[in-house]
């Protein structure tokens, strides 16, 4: 049996993973992760040439960069939401003498609905 079917399946999976990353489909990524692990285990048991490994390495590197950027974006959104929540609760300002003071927002007893 040759390595070609497994390497081809992994190349196809890497393309699907790239598409999922570009579309922000994180549910699909978790499904692909299990399949990728199984294919990686199958490849570990077979001798591979540099010609077989090069496109896989490039695809893995490309997807890792996309994943890192996606995670950075998620962290930025989370930080921004935290900033907005803090601003809703209180605002920091400075008086005429340059002294910092916090203005607390009035407590709301109203239930906020979000879509």
pLDDT at 67: 95
Higher pLDDT, 108 or 48: 48
Query: CB-based contacts of 39: which residues, under 8 Å, 6+ apart?
Result: 6, 9, 10, 13
Burial string for 60-99 (b: 16+ CB within 10 Å, else e) reads beebeeeeeebeeeeeeeeeeeeeeeeeeeeeeeeeeeee
Domain boundaries, the chain: 4-104
Tokens of 54: 């090069």
pLDDT at 1 over 50: no
Give the pLDDT confidence of 53-92 residue by residue, as tens digits.
899 999 999 999 999 999 999 999 999 999 888 877 888 8
Determine the Cα–Cα distance for residues 81 and 73; give it in Å rounded to an integer: 12
pTM value surpassing 0.85: no
């Amino acid at each position: 049996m040759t390595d070609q079917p497994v390497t081809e399946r992994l190349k196809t999976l890497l393309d699907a993973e790239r598409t999922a990353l570009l579309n922000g489909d994180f549910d699909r990524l978790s499904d692909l992760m299990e399949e990728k692990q199984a294919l990686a285990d199958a490849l570990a048991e077979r001798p591979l040439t540099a010609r077989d490994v090069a496109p896989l390495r490039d695809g893995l590197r490309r997807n890792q960069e996309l994943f890192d950027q996606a995670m950075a974006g998620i962290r930025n959104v989370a930080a921004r939401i935290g900033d907005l929540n803090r601003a809703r609760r209180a605002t920091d300002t400075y008086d005429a003498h340059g002294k910092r003071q916090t203005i607390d927002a009035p407590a709301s007893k109203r239930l906020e609905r979000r879509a």
